[in-house]
């Protein structure tokens, strides 16, 4: 495999891990975030500092990057996710900005806005791929079971969910903490892939990219998220020469998908056990299951 192709695959794995985290939060739990790149930044800097300065083993550093992101998410999530309303969404912008400002003014620890060079290149293709497979295995298992059903119940009708005995705030916070962990791991892998990180890499544009991927893939479909990661990462690579249109395209995707097909390309379908049934419905039974074929 050429170095370029290898780089693309690593990038796909890194993006997919972060996107699965955002998908769990936004697609399955119905919480909108504008600051998930901030959690990636936390993971990236944590792993960079631990490996370079304190010579931690990179796997430990990556995991601690995820853990720190999860802890920060918990601290922000507890006061905001107990409330109904867009409190978390607004706090998440604030969080993303605050993390960036702290990193830029972090002195010798974060090395400021010019960036953090010389990170050991620990994210090889094998490392990125193994992390992706393990994280995807955990995520798909999680949503296929009692937690997945509980998240969706809290998303669809929090009053009905609480009347089925669910402490909905607890599930919202759990979803946020897990998604931040995924983003932290993703950021840590990115740091080891690029060897150089800069606060500006984790700006609002990166957060928007993650949300666009999830929305395009379909809110409530993990498979859709993975397909969407491939499509959008490749499109971004192909259209690098006209990158000034990139943000315009992300924005337009968000609006158009919401207006025309809020379920995204996959709707809530998952591949796997349901694949056969889905295909059968799509090709044979669309006329009699008009309602069932949707969403």
- Quote the CA–CA distance of 23 and 218 in Å, as a whole number: 9
- Candidates 4-12, 40-48, 52-60, 93-101 — which segment interacts with another protein by CB under 8 A? 93-101
Using CB under 8 A as the binding rule, the residues of this chain from 227 to 286 that contact another protein are 244-245, 247-248, 250-256, 258-259, 262, 268
Secondary structure (DSSP) of 175-209: HHHHHHHHHHHHHHHHHHHHS-B-GGGGSHHHHHH
- Quote the CA–CA distance of 92 and 32 in Å, as a whole number: 9
**CB atoms < 10 A from the CB of 123, how many?**
24
Options 5, 83, 109, 284; binder of another protein; rule CB under 8 A: 83
Nearer to another protein, 164 or 279 (CB): 164
Options 127, 152, 197, 199; binder of another protein; rule CB under 8 A: 152
Collect all residues with Cβ–Cβ distance below 8 Å to 141 and sequence separation of at least 6: none
- Collapsing DSSP to helix, strand or coil, 267 comes out as coil
Residue 164 binding another protein, by CB under 8 A? yes
Using CB under 8 A as the binding rule, the residues of this chain from 97 to 116 that contact another protein are 97-98, 101-102, 105
Using CB under 8 A as the binding rule, the residues of this chain from 166 to 205 that contact another protein are 166-169, 204
The distance of closest approach from Cβ of residue 257 to another protein in the complex, given in angstroms and rounded to an integer, is 8
- Candidates 95-103, 122-130, 181-189, 225-233 — which segment interacts with another protein by CB under 8 A? 95-103
Using CB atoms within 10 A of its CB, is residue 59 exposed (0-12), middle (13-18) or buried (19+)?
A: middle
Give the total of residues touching another protein (CB under 8 A): 72
- Candidates 10-18, 118-126, 133-141, 231-239 — which segment interacts with another protein by CB under 8 A? 133-141
Question: Which regions of 32-131 does DSSP assign to beta strands (E)?
Answer: none
Nearer to another protein, 286 or 295 (CB): 295
Nearest 5°: phi and psi at 116?
-120, 100
Options 53, 57, 149, 282; binder of another protein; rule CB under 8 A: 149
Which helix or strand (DSSP H or E) is residue 135 part of? Answer: helix 125-143
- Quote the CA–CA distance of 12 and 21 in Å, as a whole number: 14
The distance of closest approach from Cβ of residue 191 to another protein in the complex, given in angstroms and rounded to an integer, is 24
The distance of closest approach from Cβ of residue 220 to another protein in the complex, given in angstroms and rounded to an integer, is 8
């Amino acid at each position: 495999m050429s170095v370029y192709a290898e780089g693309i695959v690593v990038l796909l794995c890194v993006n997919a891990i972060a996107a699965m985290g955002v998908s769990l939060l936004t697609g399955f739990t119905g919480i909108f975030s504008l600051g998930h790149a901030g959690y990636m930044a936390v993971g990236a800097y944590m792993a960079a500092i631990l490996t370079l300065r304190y010579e931690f083993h990179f796997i430990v550093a990556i995991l601690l990057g995820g853990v720190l992101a999860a802890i920060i998410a918990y601290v922000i999530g507890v006061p905001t996710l107990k409330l109904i309303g867009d409190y978390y969404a607004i706090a998440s912008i604030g969080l993303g900005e605050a993390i960036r400002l702290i990193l830029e003014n972090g002195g010798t620890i974060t090395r400021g806005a010019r960036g953090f060079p010389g990170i050991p290149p620990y994210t090889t293709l094998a490392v990125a791929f193994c992390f992706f497979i393990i994280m995807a295995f955990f995520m798909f298992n999680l949503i296929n079971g009692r937690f997945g059903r509980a998240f969706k119940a809290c998303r669809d009708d929090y009053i009905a969910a609480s009347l089925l005995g669910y402490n909905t705030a607890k599930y919202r916070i759990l979803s946020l903490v897990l998604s931040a962990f995924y983003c932290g791991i993703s950021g840590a892998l990115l740091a080891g892939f690029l060897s150089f990180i800069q606060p500006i890499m984790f700006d609002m544009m990166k957060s928007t990219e993650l949300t666009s991927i999830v929305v395009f893939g379909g809110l409530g479909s993990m498979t859709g998220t993975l397909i969407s990661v491939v499509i959008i990462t490749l499109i971004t690579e192909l259209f690098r020469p006209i990158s000034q249109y990139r943000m315009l395209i992300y924005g337009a995707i968000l609006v158009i998908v919401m207006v025309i097909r809020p379920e995204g390309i996959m709707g809530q379908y998952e591949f796997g056990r349901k694949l056969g049934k889905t295909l059968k419905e799509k090709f044979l039974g669309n006329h009699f299951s008009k309602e069932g074929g949707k969403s």
